Amino acid sequence: MTETTPATSTKRTRRTQERTEIARANLINAATPMFAEQGFDGITVRNIELAADVKRGMLAYHFGDKENLWKAVADTCLERLSTELNHRFELFKDLSERERLALMIRFHVRYYAQHPELSRLMSQEARQDSWRIEYLVDKHLKPGVDALKKHVTATLDLNDREFAHWYYIMVSASATMFSFAPECERLFGFDPHQESVVETHAEMMVNTLLGHIK
């Protein structure tokens, strides 16, 4: 009988952990566009497992149920956004007020260009009152929006209601072209994800929202 050494046991544990992480990542990656494009109720557990190329029952094994997988998808999308946004906040001390807001606007344009699935996911959930939009707002959106509001209202001299309008104008205009990429290609004949298009869109957004700020 082959003796199991501590080193062998450790290697087996690491391999098991790696397989678990890979399976979880495959399920999240497969489910993200499905939730974003078809909605939570539009897909089944088996649909997700087939798309992730995992055995039946693996979703329940790794996440418990479809609700917890949806939360993992939402966490992955929004935590990535929050992490990258926080990196921009660290640069603020060296920028003017206008440059700070311009940086934020450009960031949102570029982020939505790279991750159109986030806008599509929000479009699915924001239009209905459910446990999912409550989860998104309470855990992810409210903290980030409150942080953004401090910078915007101080620079543009907006009250809370005016900031709400500014926020939806900024987010919607930043994301729509990239979320509606198939329409854009057929309507105007170009792929909006081209770098030159993204840069032009970001510059137009800055000029539109901050044109009067020096």
pLDDT at residue 93 in the model: 76
What is the chain written as a DSSP string? -----HHHHHHHHHHHHHHHHHHHHHHHHHHHHHHHHH-GGG--HHHHHHHHT--TTHHHHHHSSHHHHHHHHHHHHHHHHHHHHHHHHTTGGGS-HHHHHHHHHHHHHHHHHH-HHHHHHHHHHHTS-SHHHHHIIIIIIHHHHHHHHHHHHHHHT--HHHHHHHHHHHHHHHHHHHHTHHHHHHHHSS-TTSHHHHHHHHHHHHHHHHTT--
CB 205 within 8 A of CB 105: yes
| pLDDT per residue as tens, the chain (214 positions) | 455 666 565 565 566 577 778 889 999 999 999 999 999 999 999 999 999 999 999 999 999 999 999 999 999 999 999 888 888 777 777 788 888 899 999 999 999 999 999 999 999 999 999 999 999 999 999 988 998 898 899 889 999 999 999 999 999 999 999 999 999 999 999 999 999 999 999 999 999 998 766 6
Q: Map tokens 């603020």 to a residue.
A: 92
Domains and CATH numbers, the chain: 11-210 (1.10.357.10)
pTM (2 decimals)? 0.85
Distances 62 to 21, 66, 71, 81 between C-alpha atoms, Å: 9, 10, 13, 24
